[in-house]
Amino acid sequence: MIRWQQGSDGVVVLTLDDPDHPVNTMNQTYVDSMEATVARLEAERETFGGVVLTSAKSSFFAGGDIGLMSRARPENAADLTELCTVLKSQLRRLETLGRPVAAAMNGTALGGGFEIALACHRRIALDTPGSRFGLPEVTLGLLPGAGGVSRTVRLLGLQNALTDVLLTGRQYSPREALTKGLVDELARTPEELLALAGKWVLAHPDSVQPWDTKGFRIPGGAPSHPRVAAILPALPAQLRKQLRGADVPAPRNILAAAVESAQVGLEAGEKTETGYLVELMTGQVSTNMMQAFFYDMRHITSGGSRPAGHPRHTAHRVGVLGAGMMGAGIAHSCARSGLPVVLKDVSREAAEKGKKYSEQLLAKAVDRGRLSREEAGEILARITPSADPGDLTGCDLVIEAVFEDPALKQQVFREIEGVVAPDAVLASNTSTLPVTGLAEGVGRPEDFIGLHFFSPVDKMPLLEIVVGEKTGEHTVAKAVDIARQIGKTPIVVNDGRGFFTSRVISQRLDEAVAMIGEGLPPASVEQAGAQAGYPAPPLQLLDELTLTLPRRIREETRAAVLAGGGEWRPHGSEPVMDRMIDEFGRGGRSSGAGFHEYADGRRTRLWRGLYEHFAVPGREIPFEDMKERMLFAEALDAVRCLDEGVLRSVPDANVGSILGIGFPAWTGGVLQYINGYPGGLPGFVARAGELAGRYGERFEPPRSLVAMAAEGGRFE
């Protein structure tokens, strides 16, 4: 995997090039090759003046062996400890070789790949737009396993290493990495990259790592330094606050490994790291997170949800109908991706107001140094506000984002269908209305599809693509391509009221409100949501969504069920929501009064009336039940979505639930949560039966799930 080439200048160039894979990873081939290479470097040290590490792939090095790590179990702990020891020993031997070593990173270096670079005395990166550098292990429920914790702490200082690299898992562009001190120098071309690396090693024959020099001190001070010691006690509390009490082990282990490894020598610190890493690798949370954020995400980003056999599609001109918050956000995202956008509303003034939203977002980006004024101006110039349907002439993509009223949505499509491109994709941003019914208002239902964006559009990465009964597969393929063109992660689901995300999130919120109706302490309900790992407590989230929207959706759904001859089963949340709106006039944050109290638009505290009108002193249930009622409500409904054909795949369910509706990341998503529940599917089914016996038949597991559990199956 490692080619050795020694030039006449005495520089050895080591080229990483896994013969069996498209990227370099820390697999067994790497371990064996690095062992042989380091041994040869040590044996032939007197014959060369320096070493340059580079790659023959488009990236430098992708990271650790996810396949190995995702299969790790507690019984593998000893073998994993030995593997980590070997990996760290090899890199330690490389950096203490007695010869200067430079990393010439021709592309992305993440995780284990960046740890290789950290073991070099100089890090030079090719300045390409797509390259990223960092240690993202925390996003997979892990911590860096090849010395990354110990070295970043010694390179950047304890606080900067934790906040900028280890706890965030942020991936930096070449210029950002240079600013942060992760990279020492940038090169403009591959040729310059190798030339700079070779020149540097020849000019620095005595180079050693800073932490190997006499008298080295960690930047900012070691944990024993009074200034650092003063802030150390606050770090765990800050972390708990950041995690809102959720039991997510990776950040905790990273914090412990960083602080402890900083108090000893590098080799001893690396042993500490290994213990904390092996604990994470052999635990269920990292397995869940690797499933979602590596395997399921790879399935989606590689086009796993895209119908095959259709040519790649690129949109060229977009029309957005409706310049409210959603329409303005969609227009902004399209314009930032380089697309010209016509933003249409009933009046030019309303459309201009929508464009103003983009202007504000771009101004913030300029202030934060993320865009130049020229770049911001170019993006803003791509948005054309209009009240004239004729201005949409030639648009090959139309996205409707008006009020959730079927008649209104069909009306705005009638106004523009005759002027847009004859094969334009006609998309609705509806969050709950069945796409099949909306498509009845257009002349080309085969080109009609749901594109459900999430608010705020500029921050939320998911796009839920909803396929109606008459939507053509060619349109689905176009929609997936469009999602990727504008930088969104697409999931594809079939039509149904609420589709997948809106339908499933309502189960969690309803369960939280039902607990209020049962007289449970409102603060405990909020805490249960936070400690389950949801990004926002349920009552807080309901206030943001408004209480009136869920009720209107409930009434529309109830009417549809009854019209179809079905039976409506009232939920315990309904009387609470009705009283909040009708009796107390509390509609959510936008009305200044919801489950929380507000002052000048800012949330202050839970509404005291919840205790007066709903809470019953002394009434309580196990706190674990409170958490799991929300988690199980969503997971069980996701199974029903799969049974009913609303969900097309397991990866769509897992990724969509995390990115779209905030299902806790530690679970790996709604269906992986069931896989990873203690005892697997049988354990989940048994626990669902317990919850059904205590809180209602809605927790009864679907027959398909009971059968899968009995057969030893899992969601894959």
**What pLDDT is stored for residue 231 in this prediction?**
78
**What pLDDT is stored for residue 405 in this prediction?**
87
pLDDT surpasses 90 at 355: yes
**What pLDDT is stored for residue 330 in this prediction?**
97
Q: The tokens of 106 are what?
A: 């021709």
- pLDDT one-digit tens code per residue, 283-307: 999 999 999 999 999 999 999 999 9
- pLDDT one-digit tens code per residue, 64-107: 888 888 898 999 999 999 999 999 999 999 999 999 999 999 99
Which residue would you say has higher pLDDT here, 680 or 232? Answer: 680
Write the DSSP symbol of residue 307.
P
Q: How far is CA 275 from CA 78, 144, 269, 289, in A?
A: 10, 12, 10, 20
How many residues can be counted in the chain? 716
Q: The tokens of 95 are what?
A: 């950096």
- pLDDT one-digit tens code per residue, 502-542: 999 999 999 999 999 999 999 999 999 999 999 999 999 99
**What pLDDT is stored for residue 317 in this prediction?**
97
In three-state form (DSSP H/G/I as H, E/B as E, the rest C), the secondary structure along 23-48 is CCEECHHHHHHHHHHHHHHHHCHHHC
Nearest residue to 146 via CA among 94, 97, 107, 214? 94
Say how far apart CA 594 and CA 7 lie, in whole Å.
72
Residue with tokens 């998503």: 669
* Beta carbons within 10 angstroms of residue 256's beta carbon: 18
State which H helix or E strand residue 491 sits in: strand 489-494
- Distant-in-sequence, close-in-space partners of 424: CB < 8 Å, separation ≥ 6: 395, 396, 397, 398, 447
- Distant-in-sequence, close-in-space partners of 289: CB < 8 Å, separation ≥ 6: 139, 140, 141, 665, 666, 668
**pTM > 0.95:** no
- pLDDT one-digit tens code per residue, 171-203: 999 999 999 999 999 999 999 999 999 999 999
Sign of the Cα torsion 211, 213, 219, 222 reads: positive
Nearest residue to 251 via CA among 294, 291, 286? 286
- Distant-in-sequence, close-in-space partners of 655: CB < 8 Å, separation ≥ 6: 292, 296, 297, 300, 462, 489, 491, 669
Per cent of the chain over pLDDT 70 is 100
- pLDDT one-digit tens code per residue, 542-601: 999 899 988 988 888 888 888 888 888 889 999 999 999 999 999 999 899 999 999 988
Residue spans of alpha helices (H) in 232-372: 234-243, 249-261, 266-281, 284-290, 297-301, 325-336, 348-367
Q: What is the phi/psi pair of residue 220, to 5°? A: 85, -15
Cis amide prior to 236 (ω within 30 degrees): no
Average pLDDT, the chain: 94
Q: The tokens of 255 are what?
A: 């914090």
- Distant-in-sequence, close-in-space partners of 541: CB < 8 Å, separation ≥ 6: 509, 534, 662
User: 482-521 burial by CB neighbour count: b if 16+ within 10 A, else e?
Assistant: bbbbbebbbbbbbbbbbbbbbbbbbbbbbbbbbbbbbebb
